[in-house]
Each structure stands twice: as structure tokens, then as C-alpha cells.
A and B are shown apart, each in its own frame.
Chain A
Amino acid sequence: MTDEDNSVRIAELDSRIREAERRLNLVLDAAGATGGWDWDISTKTLTGDARFAALMGIDPVGLAAGIATSMFFSSIFADDQKRIRLAVAAMLAGAEVFSKDYRLLKADGSTRWVHAKGRTVFNEQDEAIRFVGNLVDITEQKRIQEQLRVAETAGGIGTFEHSEGFGTVQVSTYFCRLLGLHPTPVLPVSTVNNLVHPDDRPIIEAIVTSEPLADRNVEFRITRADNGEPRWLARRGEYVKDLEGPGLRYIGVAYDITASKIIEERLRRANEALSERVKERTEDLNRIWQNSRDLLAVLDLDGRVRAINPAWLEVLGAGESELIGKTLQQLSAKGSDGAPSLPTATAGSTRFEYSLRHADGTERWISWTASREATAIYAYGRDTTFEKAQAEALREAETQLRQSQKMEAVGQLTGGIAHDFNNMLTGIMGSLDIIRRRLAAGRYGEVERFIEAATTSAQRAATLTQRLLAFSRRQSLDRRATNVDDLLGNMSELLKRSLGEQVRLVVDVGAAWPIVTDGNQLENAILNLAINSRDAMPAGGELHIFARNVTLTPGQIAGLDLAGRRDFVALDVRDTGTGMPPDVLEKAFDPFFTTKPIGQGTGLGLSMVYGFAQQSGGAVEIRSRPGQGTTVTIYLPRSETAEETGAASTARHVPMGLGERVMVVEDDTSVRLLVVEVLRDLGYVPVEATQADEALDRLGASPHLDR
């Protein structure tokens, strides 16, 4: 072999050695290889195996033979040098335990973390003679530890590990910080668990499962060991197979949840307060719902009842079972035409009147207020039936009052005139009477004066009548017990003539009770009604007059004021005429109200009938509908005594005078003339006076008067 061959051969070998070293290094790095060393203190010689040499980056062959102990520090990273030299010095001085982590600087400039664990070997004299140990590459482990430490610190997470049956637990630094404990790798279980609130689950629990299992989240309170501060922690973990023993280990993490617990608690309290308030409000509202006497309802948008309050049962006599699911229209009374005017928009509320049907079939007027929301209509209804009836009654009472007042006013007006009118009639009738007597006595020459007087009176009466148009008379009625049957029988001839050919008269007379009334007035009233009926039947028809006995109770007939039950005779005058619409009917009794053309009717007929009935202690009722004729009923009270005949009164005895002096005081000349003449005829000696003053003068001049 040449030198050249040798050098080529050596270069090749070197290359293969370097290649082998590189592979070894890779393997060592990957395997976390352990290299052993032996430091002979007395000879200051360091020996080691190939793996130690590889880790240290020194020649394994030289190391195996022995090198200077200072080489132990040759590859140690500068920052770790002093620390390790110190520890080694202690070992050489007699310390027993060597356990250090430090960095080794590699040939390529990178650093590896190693863990060195060593002990001293003593001779018989207790002198340290050797320092032996192992070196382990822990770079990967260190990296993971660092990651874990950062994770724990950044995440605020402490880790712990507890093996089945052990009284101690392995904990991380951060775990100790969470509990306020002095950092240590191992703690007694009781130390950890004593910090937990007695009501909460302990951190370290007896392992009850026999299989690996993920534990659920557990929250618990602790009192920190360092400052006694209460905190909330949570822990979770897993039961795993123990690496060193046959049992299980619990590997868990713990973290502080105080902040979220405080927020949670605040939220819970806020929620509770809110629910309490809602509950109170709901109770308040429910009370209103329950106690309201008005109708409260929730309707769907079609007006269908979804919920009702108890007032419905009271107002309509029907409850939820009958009403829920029905529309308001289905519940409506006859008076409500069509659908209710429910609100169609969500803004504001709508008011409307809509009557509903009570369970007994009667109508209940309800005044509604409704508002609309997205999915429902909220309706509030007030029962106004009673108010409506009251308003109706009031209106009726007012109408009657107005009627009475009108009649009274008319009565007063006409009452004053009645006296004058009576005087005129007396003048006429008296004159006629005297004329008859003079004619009977053959004293024709004296007749002319009385005819003149009668004519004057009649003309004055006519003038007055004309002037007044005709008022109903208000005079004290000449009330007597009267037989209605007789009265009607006597009138029928007159009525027939008044009605004419086209109207058929039917008079029903039966066994009517005698009544107390003024027969003449009654005749007038019947005649008046008959004339009205005739006018209402221009094309002819039938007039039916009949009397019936009735017993009336208070309130039965409008406008009839009774103290108790009383017997009446009702006189119906019914025609088959055109009838009257309600608005005309209402005014029928008003004085001067007439439907006849001007000049044909006075408008006093029915009002006179009304006044007469009232004065007789009775009443008048009128019923009429357009096209269905009119019936006027006059109620007159039954007489308590048997009736007298009109003939009896005319047959009364007339007293005759024997020259007695009688003073006649009368301002009406006609009346005075008549009275004086009659008295003279009867044998008296009349003394005339027109006024009271004159009468007194006369009395003074001729004091003797007999009457």
C-alpha cells in the first residue's frame, strides 16, 4: 500500500466514522439516551461510556481509557458552568446527592438539555473516593415541561395527580398558587382537601371506578391557605392506568372560576329579583283580571275568544266552556248587525258598541274598547244595558213630563177663558128660555129684546172661538155615575151621521161597569175621536167602538197615577185607517198639533180628550202603526155608586118666590138680564147691581133683602 492509498483509506474511514457519529447522535437525540460517567476523585480521572462521550461530544476511545476530570465541564453551556462546578465541588467534599439539569453545547452550536444524576461512593473511612452518575438528554422533555408551564400560567390552570391508595398528591406550582399554598411538588391529600368548603366535593376523592374514565366538571369553594380568601375553583380530569402500579391514577386540572361565579351569582340574583317582580306584577294583573266586573278578553285576530275573565259568567251567564272559541259575532244579540268593529291596526285602541246575548236570551249592551297586538286583540267591555234602560226610562219620563206640562199650560190658558165663554152661553140659553116662556104666555112684544141679547152673546162666543181657534175647556166636570153602554147607545145615531156612508160603525156594548165622568165631555171625546178616524179613512173603513172592564195596577198604563189596584172601564175607538208613524204618534196629544190641512183641523181634538181623561182620573192610550189603523183607548174609573139617570136631575123641583127681594150682582148684562127676568118670573123682586161696589150702595139704600 502506498501512502496515497493509505491517506485515501484514512479519509474514507474518517468519513464513515463521522457518518456513524452523526447517526449515533440522531439516535441518541431521538432516544433520550443515557450516558454513564465515573469520576475517580483520588486520581482525578474521568471515564465514561460511548453514549456519555457522544452526549458530551468527546472522543469515546479516550474517555474509555480515562481523561482529565476537568473535561466533565468542557461542553457545559457557559451560563450553567458555575452552578455545576459548585455542585460537583460539594460532591467531592462529601455531599451525597447530585441532581442537576443543565445545557450542553454541541459541536454544531446547538444546545441540548441534560439531566445529570449522581452520587458519591465512600470508602471504609467514609471518604468520598468516586463520583458516579448518568447523563440523560431531556431537551424534548424540557420543551414539553416549558410548554406545560406556560400553558398552566397563561391558562391559570394547576395540575395534580393522585395515585390510588396514596396519602399524597403530586401537584404543579400553579396548583399550589391557586390554593395559596407554598409551592411544592407533593402535598398531603388532607392539606389539599382541608381547604375545600365542607359542603362541597373534595379535590382529591377516593377512586371508585375500576376502569379509566373521564370525570365530569366539579365546582367547589376553597379558602386560600395564604390569605384566607374564599375562591371558587373548578376541576376536571381523568382516571387513567397508573404507569407505576396496578391501580388507577387521577390526573386532573384545576382553575379559578371566582369571577364567573360572581357574575353568575349576580345574574341569578338579578334573575330572581326580576322573576319576583314579574310574579308580583302578574299577581296584580291577575287580581284585576279576576276581580274586574267588566268583561276582559283576549281574542285572536278573527275576533275568536281565546281567554275571558270571570266577569263574563256574571254578565252573560255563560263561562269559558260555552264561550271560548266563539267569535263575538256568534255571541252577538239581535241588536248587533254584522261583525264588531275590531281594531285592524296595532296603533291605539278602538271603541265600539256591540251587544251580546245573555244565556237567558236577553240582550246585553256592551261598550267595548279594544287594542290590537301582533297576534291578539285585547278587548275590554263594559255592560251598559242598565244605563241604556235607565236612559230610555228617563227619556220616556221626560217626554211624559213635557206632555203633562204642555197640557197643564194649555189648561191654564183655556181655563181663564172658560168662564167668559160660559157666561155667553148662559146669555144665549137663558134668553132662549125666556123667549120660550114669553111665547108660551103670548107676550110676543117682549121677545125681540131677548133674541137680541141671545144673538149678541152667541156672536161674542163665536168671535172668541174664532179668536182662540179653540182651546180645550178646563172647567170642573159635572162628574156623575154614568152608564157607558147607554151613552154609546144614545150616541150611535149621531156618530153614524158624522161618519158618513163610507165608514161602517160597530158599537159593542156589553156589561160595562158604571163610570164616574161627565157624560157630555165623554160624548164630545168620542165624537172627536170618531171624526179623527173618519178623516184617517178617506176611502172608507170600519170604526169599532167597544167598552171593556179592566183592573189596572200602578205603572201598567203610562201617565196613569195609581195608589193601588183599581177598576176601570176601557173604551176602545179603533179604526182601519192609515195609522200614524212613531214621530207623529208621539205628538198626537199635543195641543194644536194636526196633520190635517190648514183650516180643516184645530189640533185640539186629541189634546182635549187627553185633558178630559186626566181630569176624570183616567188616562188615554194610543196605539198606531202606519197602514194598520189607530186604536185610542180611554180609561175611566169605575163608579163606586149606582148610576143616576139624567132624567132625575131635570125633574127637580123649582122653588117659587113670593115677592122676596133678591139682589143680583152680575157684570155681564145678558146674564144679569136673564137672571133678573127669571127671578121676576118666579115671583121674586130682583135688585140689580153690576159690581160689588154698586151692590153695597144698593144695600145701603134699601137694606132689606131676603136672599
Chain B
Amino acid sequence: MAHDIALDDLERDALTEVVNIGVSRAAASLRKMVGRQVLLSVPAVEIVTHKAAAALIGQRESEDLVAVKQDFDGAFSGRALLIFPETRSMELVRAVAGDDIPAEDLPELESEALSETGNVILNNCLGTMANMLQRSLTMSLPEVLHGRGEDLFVNAQGEDGGLVLFLYINFSVRDRNIRGYIAMLMDLPSLATLKVLIADFIARVTADAG
């Protein structure tokens, strides 16, 4: 089974580029929301186990995390997570809500602001990716989770040893101390489908650019 979903170098590059496009579109949306430049790092894509994904986040972020979760369904299905350190969430809320909101009102807005931000980013990202792969996806309503890396990835996809397509991308908002990750959790059939779609994508673009 495992080698069915294992991506070769080119497929990995292709998936990375699809993510790159999706995240760029998401960043553009976020840019509009906060009115500031949003910088993105070069995305890294890995397919790892839930546990490894938890460890990966846990190792990179030593503090508690906040995640905006959205399930998606379509040609491939799974769960998308926008993750950032809890201490930075208020910064994001402030960036989205604007400087004219009094500081004492921010906590009330937190959950709503995070949900909305997450929704914009994840919708744009996944929507764009689906578009690039010439498929469509439906997205559930966003939900805010708190916890450590382990808490976010456990039970996300049941106990079937599901893998995580871990899109590791750092985004930061200029003048705001904000950074975060995007993770997509998919089961094996979805990953197999994704692999096929990626191959098609490669064929299409290399032919276009020829």
C-alpha cells in the first residue's frame, strides 16, 4: 500500500508547487484582510504519520498551539489545519480586527476572528489546489482547537494509521509577530487519488510550458 502513495521527487515538487499556488492565493486574501504584506516561506511537503506530524510540530513549537480546523470532501477528502502558536493568536486577531478595536474587546473577538481568518486562508488554499488539479472540494465550517501538537493530530483521522500530508509553510505578517503552519490530514485512498491528480498536473504543465 505504502508505495502506492509514495511520491517520487518530481511528484513531490509538483505537489509542493500546487501548495505554493494555493498558499499564495491564501496569502493574497490574508493580505487584503490585514492590509499588510504577508510573507511566505518556501513550502515543504511531507507525508508522515500522525505521530510524526505531532512530533514535528511539537519539536518546532514548544508552546501550546491554536488550530483552525476544516474538513474537506471531494475527489480527495480529509482535514485541513491552520496552526500557529497560541501566544501569536491574539496578534493575528489584532491584525485582522484592526488597531482601532480596544484591547479589552479582543478576547471576545478571538474565536470568531480566528475562525474567519482560518476559513479564508484554508478555503483559498484548498480551493486553489483543487482548481489546479481540476477537481472540486466542499469545505465544512471552521472550528477552533487548542492544545499541543499531539492533541491536534490524534483522533483527527481515526485509528487506521492514516497519514498526514504535512505542508509546512511559514507565513509571517510584516510588523506583526505572526507565524503558522498548514497541515492536511488525509487517509490512504485520498492520498492515492492525489498522487494520480499530481501526475496529471505534471503532464499538463510541462506540456504547456514546452
Task: Show the binding face of A for B, using Cβ within 8 Å.
Answer: 70, 73, 82-83, 85-90, 92-97, 99, 120, 122, 126, 181-182, 184, 186-188, 190-191, 194, 225-226
Point out the residues of chain B lying under 8 angstroms from A83, CB to CB: 9-10, 13
Best-buried of B13, B132, B206, B209 by chain A (most CB within 10 Å): B209
Contact of A187 among B9, B24, B25, B59 (CB under 8 A): B59
Q: Is the CB of B206 within 8 A of A188?
A: no
6 example contacts (A-B, Cβ-Cβ < 8 A) are as follows A82-B10, A83-B13, A86-B17, A94-B128, A96-B28, A186-B60
Of B23, B62, B132, the contact of A93 (CB 8 Å cutoff): B132
Q: For residue A384, give the distance in angstroms from its CB to the closest CB of chain B.
A: 83
Q: Which residues of A contact B165 (CB under 8 A)?
A: none
Expressed in whole angstroms, the Cα–Cα distance for A90 and B20 within the complex equals 7
Q: Closest residue to B132 on the A side, CB-wise?
A: A93
Tell me which of B25, B56, B205, B210 contacts A182 (CB under 8 A). Answer: B56
CB of B52 within 8 A of CB of A182, answer yes
- Report whether B59 and A191 are in contact in the complex, using a CB–CB cutoff of 8 Å: yes
Docked Cα-Cα span, A181 to B60, in Å, equals 9
Contacts of B41 in A (CB 8 A): 97
- Determine chain B's interface SS by DSSP, over half rule: helix
Residues of B in contact with A (beta carbons under 8 Å apart): 9-10, 13-14, 17-18, 20-21, 23-25, 27-28, 40-43, 48, 52, 55-56, 58-62, 128, 132, 202, 205-206, 208-210
Summarize A's interface: helix, strand, loop or mixed: mixed
Closest to B43 in A: A97
| A126: B residues at CB distance < 8 A | 28
Across the interface, B59 reaches (CB within 8 A) one of A94, A95, A181, namely A181
Given A122-B28, A226-B55, residue A90 in contact with residue B21 (CB < 8 A)? yes
B residues less than 8 Å from A93 (CB atoms): 21, 132
**B17 CB contacts on chain A under 8 angstroms:** 86-87, 89-90, 95
Q: A82 — which chain B residues lie within 8 A by C-beta?
A: 10, 202, 206
Residues of A within 8 A of B9 (CB): 83
Q: Is the CB of B206 within 8 A of A85?
A: yes
Of B13, B24, B61, the most chain A CB neighbours within 10 A belong to: B24
Least CB separation from B27: chain A residue: A96
Known pairs A85-B205, A86-B206, A87-B13; A99 contacts B52 (CB<8 A)? no
Contact B20 A95 (CB under 8 A): yes
CB < 8 Å neighbour of A88 from B42, B56, B59, B209 = B209
Question: In the complex, what residue of chain A is closest to B10 when comparing beta carbons?
Answer: A82
In whole angstroms, how far apart are the Cα atoms of A122 and B25 in the complex? 11
Given A187-B60, A188-B60, A191-B59, also A89-B208 (CB < 8 A)? yes
Measured CA separation A87–B201 after assembly (Å): 12
Nearest CB on B from A662, distance (A): 148
Q: How far is the CB of A50 from chain B (nearest CB, A)?
A: 26
| Closest chain A residue to B41, Cβ basis | A97
A225 / chain B contacts, CB cutoff of 8 Å:
55, 59
| A90 x B60 contact (CB < 8 A) | no
Are the CB atoms of B60 and A89 closer together than 8 Å?
A: no
6 nearest A-B pairs in the assembled complex, by CB-CB distance: A90-B17, A96-B24, A89-B205, A190-B62, A95-B20, A95-B21
The answer to whether B20 touches A86 (Cβ under 8 A) is no
Bound complex: CA of A191 vs CA of B55, how far in Å?
11
Knowing that A70-B209, A191-B59 touch, tell me 4 more A-B residue pairs with CB under 8 angstroms. Answer: A89-B208, A90-B20, A94-B25, A120-B24
Bound CA span A82–B202, Å? 9
What A residues does B56 contact at CB under 8 A? Answer: 182, 184
Out of A122, A182, A187, which one reaches B55, CB within 8 Å? A182
Q: Chain A residues with Cβ under 8 A from B59's Cβ?
A: 181-182, 184, 187-188, 191, 225
Given A86-B206, A188-B61, the answer on whether A97 and B14 have CB atoms closer than 8 Å is no
Closest to B56 in A: A182
Question: How distant is A129 from chain B, measured CB to nearest CB, in Å?
Answer: 14
